[in-house]
Amino acid sequence: MTPADHPLPPDTPIAGPAPPGPASAPATPVAAPMTGPVLAERAAAVRDEVAKAFIGQPEVLDQILIALLAGGHVLIEGVPGLGKTLLVRALSQALDCGYARVQFTPDLMPSDISGHAVWNPKTETFNIRRGPIFTHLLLADEINRAPAKTQSALLEAMAELQVTIEGRSFPLPPPFLTLATQNPVEQEGTYPLPEAQLDRFLLKVLIDYPSRADEVRMVASVSQGRNAAAFDLARVQRVLGPDDIAAMQAGTAQVTVDEAVIDYAVRIVGATRDWAGIAMGAGPRGSLALVRAARAQAVLSGRDFVTPDDIREIALPALRHRIALAPELQIEGQAPDDVLKALLAKVEAPRQ
């Protein structure tokens, strides 16, 4: 991706001290929030376009759309060759937004992501060279191939939607969404993400092997008339722009959540802190993630209110990366999903 592709100018001259006070994004007109059937219709349009390239596993695609509607970041995990990168590329193709891909490697430096200052001898000033993070959709490919110091370059951007370079804070263009892919941490040459980094992701999506029927469709689609082992993304049409996404996110935030449903989400997260076999439970950000994602889940279901089922259905991707199992359960081969399913079965849901 060239600097011209970035939605913001790549070079910003700096001379003298940084301006006082926190940086704020420039005022830009935002489309009116979408409501009701319009939200579900727009989300379905994105799903249909992405599904032209990413074949099968509709629950994975729905979870990506939930993160998009909720304005949250996504960590996608699976063994190599399951289409993690393809899924993100197809999504970027369906959204008429800025897109950048960063391939994480052991020698990648934080400045390669955020940017750095460059001396300009003509003006005798330093210019800020903005990194690929200044975009709308950032694909952090194989994020756990880089060490922790490089992974942490995303922390500020994911939490505060801004990047600090040479003591100055620069706002990111809204909407900003990080979609990170990783291989299972048991594989050679990987660096587990620290808890602070994991907690910034709204959802952790697991991609498993496709069904036989889906794999047959995929092989037929890729191999027909072509030698290259790659999907043709030209069929994926652009259906939404940045203003549309911002309006959809604003509309999703207006979905009604009853106090009893909020209390249900908080009780689920609270149970992770006392559950036998969980060494570290989810924090308050887990409760917020559950409610935010449940709103988007309701939108995909065509409703303008959240039900306890929405909370339950999104609980695994919203919490699986926020808990740490006790060593004895890890030795037994149990996964966070196994423990969370048992926990959900014990936490009483409110009566509708």
Helix (H, G, I), strand (E, B) or coil at 198: helix
The pLDDT value recorded for residue 313 is 96
pLDDT at 217 over 90: no
What confidence score (pLDDT) does residue 272 get? Answer: 96
Banded pLDDT at 246 (limits 50, 70, 90): very high
Q: The domain 31-107+133-254: what is its CATH number? A: 3.40.50.300
Q: Are the beta carbons of 347 and 271 closer than 8 angstroms?
A: yes
Say what the pLDDT of residue 219 is. Answer: 84
* pLDDT of 225: 57
Alpha carbon dihedral 201, 59, 244, 299, in 10-degree steps, equals -100
Q: Which helix (H) or strand (E) holds 86?
A: helix 84-94
Residues whose CB falls within 8 Å of the CB of residue 106, separated by 6 or more in sequence, listed in order: 145, 146, 147, 189
Tell whether the model's pLDDT for residue 27 goes beyond 70.
no
Over residues 98-109, the mean pLDDT reads 92
Position 22 confidence tier, pLDDT thresholds 50, 70, 90: very low
pLDDT above 80 (res 12): no
Determine the 3-state secondary structure of 20 from DSSP.
Answer: coil
Tell me which of 314 and 234 has the higher pLDDT: 314
Pairwise CA distance, residues 304 & 35, whole Å: 8
CA–CA distances in Å: residue 200 to residues 40, 75, 205, 319: 26, 10, 14, 12
Task: Please state, in angstroms and rounded to a whole number, the distance separating the CA atoms of residues 140 and 231.
Answer: 20
- Domain 31-107+133-254 matches domain 255-346 at the CATH topology level: no
Beta-strand runs (E) in the chain = 11-14, 73-77, 99-103, 115-120, 125-130, 137-141, 162-165, 168-171, 177-182, 201-206, 278-280, 324-325
Percent with pLDDT over 90 in the chain: 54
Q: What are 62's strand-pairing partners?
A: none
User: Cα separation of 281 and 126, whole Å?
Assistant: 45
> Average pLDDT, stretch 322-329?
93
Confidence of residue 341 (pLDDT cuts 50, 70, 90): very high
Place of tokens 């076999």: 277
Decide: residue 320, CB within 10 A, 0-12 exposed, 13-18 middle, 19+ buried.
buried
Domain at 255-346, CATH from 1.10.357.10, 3.30.420.40, 1.10.8.80, 3.40.50.300: 1.10.8.80
Maximum alpha-carbon separation in the chain: 70
CA distance 246 to 255: 15
Determine if the peptide bond prior to 192 is cis (ω within 30°): no
Mean pLDDT computed over every residue of the chain: 85
How confident is the model at residue 149, as a pLDDT? 86
Q: Where exactly are the structural domains of the chain? A: 31-107+133-254, 255-346
Q: Can you tell me the mean pLDDT for 319-325?
A: 95
User: What is the band of 186 on the pLDDT scale with cuts at 50, 70, 90?
Assistant: low
pLDDT (0 to 100) of residue 19 = 39
pLDDT at res. 245 = 93
Q: Is 29 exposed, middle or buried (0-12, 13-18, 19+ CB in 10 A)?
A: exposed
Instruction: Output the pLDDT for position 112.
Output: 92
What would the pLDDT profile of 266-295 be if each residue is shown by its tens digit? 999 999 999 999 999 999 999 999 999 999
Q: How far apart are CA 163 and CA 99, in angstroms?
A: 17
Angle between helix axes 36-50 and 84-94 (nearest 10 degrees) is: 130
pTM: 0.85
More confident of the two residues 162 and 83: 162
| pLDDT bracket for residue 33 (50, 70, 90) | low
